[in-house]
Structure 1
Amino acid sequence: MSHKPTTVKQLAEFSVLIDVRSPAEYALDHIPGAINCPVLNDEERRIVGTTYVQVSAFEARKIGGAMVARNIARHLDALFRDKPKEWRPLLYCWRGGMRSGSFVNWLRLVGWDAQQLQGGYKAWRGHVIEQIEQIAPRLALRVLCGPTGSAKTRVLQALAAQGAQVLDLEDLAAHRGSVLGAMPDRPQPSQKAFETQLMHRMADFDLGQPVWIEAESRRIGRLNVPEPLLQRLRESPVVEIDATPVARLDYLLRDYAWLGQDRQALADKLGTLRELLAKEVLAQWQDWALQGALPELFAALMAQHYDPLYARSQGRHLARLAHAQRVPCTDLSDTGILALAGRIAALAFNHPEEPR
């Protein structure tokens, strides 16, 4: 039972992956599948750090050592008591230092073949960045675009249900990318967690097959699309949904009906547009929001905000928009979306761009 450096390429060799960092660090981002067994909780970590800075490293280690020992004992008793001798845990902290090293030593004293991830979470973070940089330029992306209300996200979901490869950035980012795009009961992840999940999804793709993706700007809510993926998206073949205004409005009224549940919150969201709109226009829109007049509000948003924004941005950001295959649509009901996805999936690309 040797004690040897373990890299991120060996994660699958272990029974369990244990993140020993504090709960706040774990919540910010962690390796997918890892469980959190902190050797210092958030308050204990603050105390040790403060002592290190204000007193000395020795005093910090003395205080922290007792805390770490108690926490490790609690985890051993509560979580690992029933584990067999063949159980192989891999542990990591921020940089593969004392926090995970202490826990590994205790587990090895028990008799388990516990190992420490070389470089810790920092090594994992480097792996995520490297993989995005390597995989993104090789994706055979097919970019789905269309003005707000074209049901692009639902079409992606329908394509996935029909067996296509789909990269749903808005789902990973927990945001629909517009002023009204925040998702109820789903806060956005951190930038690091977004990129971890993005890399995890991209790594599963067959690079020899198309991957459908929605046209996105650089930012989705408060998150940034990584530059290698953004560049690949902007240079890829485009399919544009050409839905009628009536079909789009009907879809928006169904898809965003929940906004009418908190009228004041909706009016406040519209307030973020104050620098883009005349005062009287914003006042009218906020009044409609407070009245729950969603048909009037959404129709105005489409005609005066979303459609002009789409016309300005897509031509600049999608290099192949002029050669897009346009798919007309008059029905964005659930049945209509399924039919639309089938038509899009059947499109032929005369000169598909091969992944690099």
Structure 2
Amino acid sequence: MKYPAVLPFSDILPRLSEFDAIIDVRSPSEFAEDHVPGAINLPVLDDDERVRVGTLYKQTSAFEAKKLGAALIAKNIARHIEDGLLGHPQQWKPLVYCWRGGNRSGAMAHILARIGWPVTQLDGGYKEYRRHVNAELATLPVQFDFINVLCGPTGSGKSRLLQVLDQQGAQVIDLEQLAAHRGSVLGGLPEEEQPSQKAFESALWQQLRHFDPALPVFIESESKKVGRLRVPDALMEKMRAAACTDVQLDTAQRVQLLMQDYAHYVADPTGLNVQLALLTQLHGKEKIAHWQQLATAGRMAELVEELLVQHYDPVYRQSIARNFSRYAQATPLVLPDISEHAFEQAARALCAIVGDGKQ
């Protein structure tokens, strides 16, 4: 085969794991927004350099912009080779891509091929990859007939149960983990930003494409948005028509679980009070002031229980039956406590129930 080989994503996908490296040569900001799973960023133009070249193109001429771009790209490719690629053997197989047109990836791929590496260039670049992801997110969820939705009010342990199911080898989609958000006004994670919508969808696609449609898939009963991120329509529709498991845990245990999971708010009453203020329209200034006083006084268990009883549980009851058509027939799964043993036992019991076709 002549290198660089320029191939469409449909040809590359079946052997994506065969590449020794997936090299995204776009700028750091483009890469940060989203990239092919497993890719590394070796930009041939950084963000400032892209601006310089683009400005020169608009204000002077394409010729002057290309001269500057060529000089910068050559310098950056040389640095990447010297700093990180010299140790690779001749059989090292990289895949290279850029945004769409192929100029940036073509420059990198040409030089790597001239060195002697069997390099492949993604025809159509990231835009072609993104088109494929969009198409598959509309079709992949339809293939799964055995989706099981974990229902249950806030603090009932659904996320922990998903984690244990995953550890036991079950097929799990943890939307909150992928979205870096727990799905409520208090759901933001400390010191962790949510990914972009595109990165969220890439991570979801990466999971779905490796699942076996003949085996159950476990997922939590989420709303259409997790934080600011939207769950793809096809998956949402499949979830809402799926069999349900009703995870049950008594209120005292739920309070303890939430105080563990939201320890950052327990340690930061001021930050918690900022978030509580967002509920003013629903509960009024007097109620919010009361909850903020509890937080400031360190009476967290009391606050959490009131939030459950007066806010989260009523909201859950209003939405769950309306949005999940098979919730009325949900299989109950009672957790005696929040110990590791309890979740391990519950996960095994749930796999047995679903595997026996009792739902």
Whether the TM-score (by the shorter chain) exceeds 0.5 is: yes
Where does 1:94-173 land on structure 2 (aligned, <5 Å)? 94-139=99-144, 140-173=146-179
Asked if structure 2 preserves the Cα contact closer than 8 Å seen for 1:141 and 1:237, the reply is: yes
2:200 matched residue in structure 1: 194
1:227 matched residue in structure 2: 233
Cα distance in 1, alignment partners of residues 152 and 134 from structure 2: 30
Between stretches 120-129 and 54-63, larger displacement belongs to 54-63
Cα distance in 2, alignment partners of residues 260 and 278 from structure 1: 23
Structure 2 regions of 5+ residues with no counterpart?
none
1:28 matched residue in structure 2: 33
Between stretches 201-210 and 103-112, larger displacement belongs to 103-112
Instruction: Give 1:331 deviation, angstroms.
Output: 1.8
Q: Which amino acid aligns with 2:270?
A: Q
Q: Which amino acid aligns with 1:123?
A: E
Cα distance in 2, alignment partners of residues 52 and 154 from structure 1: 53
Asked if structure 2 preserves the Cα contact closer than 8 Å seen for 1:96 and 1:116, the reply is: no
TM-score by length of 2: 0.93
Cα distance in 1, alignment partners of residues 19 and 350 from structure 2: 42
2:52 matched residue in structure 1: 47
Asked if structure 2 preserves the Cα contact closer than 8 Å seen for 1:52 and 1:59, the reply is: yes
Cα distance in 1, alignment partners of residues 285 and 43 from structure 2: 52
Asked if structure 1 preserves the Cα contact closer than 8 Å seen for 2:142 and 2:234, the reply is: yes
Deviation digits for residues 234-289 of structure 1 (CA, Å, limit 9, x no counterpart): 01000111222222122222222231222211111111112111110011111222
Asked if structure 1 preserves the Cα contact closer than 8 Å seen for 2:216 and 2:354, the reply is: no
1:276 matched residue in structure 2: 282
Cα distance in 2, alignment partners of residues 60 and 104 from structure 1: 21
Q: Which amino acid aligns with 1:45?
A: R
Q: Which amino acid aligns with 1:21?
A: R
Q: Which amino acid aligns with 1:73?
A: A
Cα distance in 1, alignment partners of residues 88 and 346 from structure 2: 52
Question: Is 1:242 matched up with 2:248?
Answer: yes
1:206 to 195, 207, 212: 212
Asked if structure 2 preserves the Cα contact closer than 8 Å seen for 1:18 and 1:89, the reply is: yes
Q: Which amino acid aligns with 1:270?
A: L
Instruction: Give 1:96 deviation, angstroms.
Output: 4.2
Deviation digits for residues 15-47 of structure 1 (CA, Å, limit 9, x no counterpart): 321110001111111111111110001111111
Q: CA separation of 1:87/1:158 partners in 2, compared to 1, >3 Å: closer, same or farther?
A: closer
1:2 matched residue in structure 2: 2
Instruction: Give 1:349 deviation, angstroms.
Output: 7.6
Extract structure 1 runs of 4+ deviating beyond 6 A: 349-353
Q: CA separation of 1:310/1:208 partners in 2, compared to 1, >3 Å: closer, same or farther?
A: same
Asked if structure 1 preserves the Cα contact closer than 8 Å seen for 2:173 and 2:219, the reply is: yes
Asked if structure 2 preserves the Cα contact closer than 8 Å seen for 1:237 and 1:352, the reply is: no
Q: CA separation of 1:159/1:86 partners in 2, compared to 1, >3 Å: closer, same or farther?
A: closer
Could you tell me the percent identity over the aligned residues? 45
Between stretches 7-16 and 93-102, larger displacement belongs to 7-16
1:215 matched residue in structure 2: 221
Q: CA separation of 1:350/1:324 partners in 2, compared to 1, >3 Å: closer, same or farther?
A: farther
1:266 matched residue in structure 2: 272
Aligned pairs, number = 353
Asked if structure 2 preserves the Cα contact closer than 8 Å seen for 1:96 and 1:121, the reply is: no
Between stretches 332-341 and 166-175, larger displacement belongs to 332-341
Structure 1 regions of 5+ residues with no counterpart?
none
Instruction: Give 1:352 deviation, angstroms.
Output: 7.3
2:324 to 299, 318, 322: 318
Q: CA separation of 1:352/1:69 partners in 2, compared to 1, >3 Å: closer, same or farther?
A: farther
Cα distance in 1, alignment partners of residues 355 and 97 from structure 2: 46
- Superposition CA RMSD, Å: 1.8
Aligned-partner SS, 2:296: helix
Deviation digits for residues 58-80 of structure 1 (CA, Å, limit 9, x no counterpart): 22212211111110111121112
Deviation digits for residues 152-196 of structure 1 (CA, Å, limit 9, x no counterpart): 000111222223221111111111101111122322111111111
Where does 1:10-25 land on structure 2 (aligned, <5 Å)? 10=12, 11-25=16-30
Cα distance in 2, alignment partners of residues 161 and 115 from structure 1: 36
Where does 1:266-305 land on structure 2 (aligned, <5 Å)? 266-305=272-311
Aligned-partner SS, 2:181: coil
Asked if structure 1 preserves the Cα contact closer than 8 Å seen for 2:259 and 2:266, the reply is: no
Q: Which amino acid aligns with 1:34?
A: A
